[in-house]
Amino acid sequence: MFNKVSHIGIAVKDLQASVELFSRLFGKAPDHTEDVPDQRVKTAFFTIGSSSIELTQGTDVSSPVARFLEKRGEGVHHVSFVVDNIEQELARLKGAGFQLIEDRPRVGADGYLVAFLHPHSTNGVLIEISQKM
């Protein structure tokens, strides 16, 4: 079951510059920063109420975020939802005809297992589902 919007991911070219920008916007420092080698990104999270904003920068030119930036520039990259059981949701979504980027969840930022749905099957929006480890 989808529970809530966990966060909105924003792809940025220069994480440090964007952390300064969004710190000015929100009037506070990020709550959490983290390198996620598995996804070749570094991230900064700002908690806003019960969800958060994730700034994400690719750490090498071939990472998916770096390729997104090259094609589309900076901006909203993905919307992430918390689910109860990520394995079960992946099976359900696959059965419902959605195109999965990965069949198995991976280790994402902030202690979550994550998996992505291809934007081709979701009206152009990259959807992330996540479950707390």
Which residues have C-beta within 8 Å of that of residue 28, sequence separation ≥ 6?
Answer: 46
Binding mask 46-85 for Zn ion (x = CB under 5 A): --------x-------------------------x-----
Distance (Å, rounded) from C-alpha 30 to C-alpha 109? 14
Q: Between residues 95 and 114, which has the closer beta carbon with respect to Zn ion?
A: 114
Distance (Å, rounded) from C-alpha 18 to C-alpha 112? 23
- Please report whether residue 9 would count as binding Zn ion according to CB under 5 A: yes
Q: CB of 124 within 8 A of CB of 72?
A: no
Q: Between residues 86 and 97, which has the closer beta carbon with respect to Zn ion?
A: 86
Q: Between residues 89 and 128, which has the closer beta carbon with respect to Zn ion?
A: 128
Residues in contact with Zn ion by the rule CB under 5 A: 9, 54, 80, 128
